[in-house]
């Protein structure tokens, strides 16, 4: 797993739960399925068969979803020779926690870039600190945000 790569996602879905905040519903399902799979790397067929148990899905939909996840750098793939001929096998480019951390950092970074002090205030307001501690934290955050800019 390489950490040098950055996962590619361009939207944040306010209504999406967990991974669906960063990815489409099927993309999130595929990623969850791959992270949860005992066997890696996996083929499209294996993920399709795993997802088919709970959802009415088409194979080609899963195939194009995995292809898209590869283009977004969330999955890596290579060609493997096997019983069925030559086929792609996929594996996650990031561990789940690593992806989540990276995604949250991306979103925060974007918010800070755009809204700076407002973000710092929001973060401080959301903590359980007393007033003095909040003020100290706010100062520290604003300093860091200004430095970053």
Partner 1 sequence: MGFEGILNQVFQPYFYYSVMFLVVSFVGVKILTKYCSFICQRTKSLLYLVPLALPLIVMLVFLPLTGIQASYRQIKTLGTVTIGGAFSSFPFFGPFLPPPPTQTAYILAVSTSTVLSVTGIICIIGLVTGALFALSMVLADDWVARKVLHVILLSPNEYQWLQAKMNESAKKLGIAPPKIGVVEDLRPNAFTIGYGRNATIVFSIGLFNILSKEELVAVASHELAHIKNNDFFFKTLSDALTTVSFFNPLSYIASSTAQKEREMFADERAIELLEKPTALGDALAKICRAIQTLPKESVLVNFSSNLLVASSVLHRVGILSTHPRLDTRLRNISALKPSRRHWSHRDTWLVFFLSLLLIASAVAVSLAMVDLQVNFTANFAASHSLKALPADLLTGYDTGSGNVVWFTGAVTVPFNGTQNMHELINQPYLGASSRNIYVETSDDGAYYSLGDRVVVLFVVTPQNSTYAHMQSPIAAPGTPWIG
* Cβ-based neighbours of 76, under 8 Å, separated by 6 or more: 70, 90, 91, 92, 93
Stretch that binds partner 1, among 15-23, 34-42, 44-52, 129-137 (CB under 8 A): 44-52
**44 contacts 56 by C-beta, under 8 angstroms:** no
Nearer to partner 1 (CB atom), residue 64 or residue 110: 64
Nearer to partner 1 (CB atom), residue 82 or residue 126: 82
Residues between 54 and 73 with contacts to partner 1, criterion CB under 8 A:
58-61, 63
Q: Which of 5, 39, 45, 55 binds partner 1 (CB under 8 A)?
A: 45
Q: Kindly state whether residue 91 participates in binding partner 1, applying the rule CB under 8 A.
A: no
For residue 60, the minimal CB distance to partner 1 (Å) is 5
Q: What angle do CA 97, 98, 101 make, to 5 degrees?
A: 85
Nearer to partner 1 (CB atom), residue 89 or residue 123: 89
- CA proximity to 8, closest of 72, 103, 98: 72
The Cα-based distances of 120 to 1, 110, 117, 129, 147 in angstroms read 33, 13, 5, 14, 13
Q: Which of 9, 22, 48, 94 binds partner 1 (CB under 8 A)?
A: 48
Residues that bind partner 1 (CB under 8 A): 43-45, 48, 58-61, 63, 79, 81, 83-88
């Amino acid at each position: 797993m390489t950490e040098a790569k950055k996962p590619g996602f361009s939207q944040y879905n306010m209504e999406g739960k967990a991974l669906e905040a960063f990815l489409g519903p099927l993309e999130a399902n595929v990623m969850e399925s791959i992270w949860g799979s005992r066997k890696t790397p996996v083929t499209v067929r294996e993920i399709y068969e795993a997802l088919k148990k709970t959802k009415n899905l088409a194979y080609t939909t899963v195939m194009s979803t995995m292809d898209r996840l590869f283009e977004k750098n969330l999955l890596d793939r290579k060609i493997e020779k096997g019983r069925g001929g030559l086929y792609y096998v996929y594996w996650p480019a990031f561990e789940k926690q690593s992806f989540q951390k990276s995604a949250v950092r991306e979103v925060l970074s974007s918010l800070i870039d755009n809204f700076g002090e407002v973000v710092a205030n929001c973060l401080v307001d959301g903590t359980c600190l007393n007033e003095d501690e909040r003020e100290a934290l706010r100062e520290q955050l604003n300093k860091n945000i200004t430095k970053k800019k």
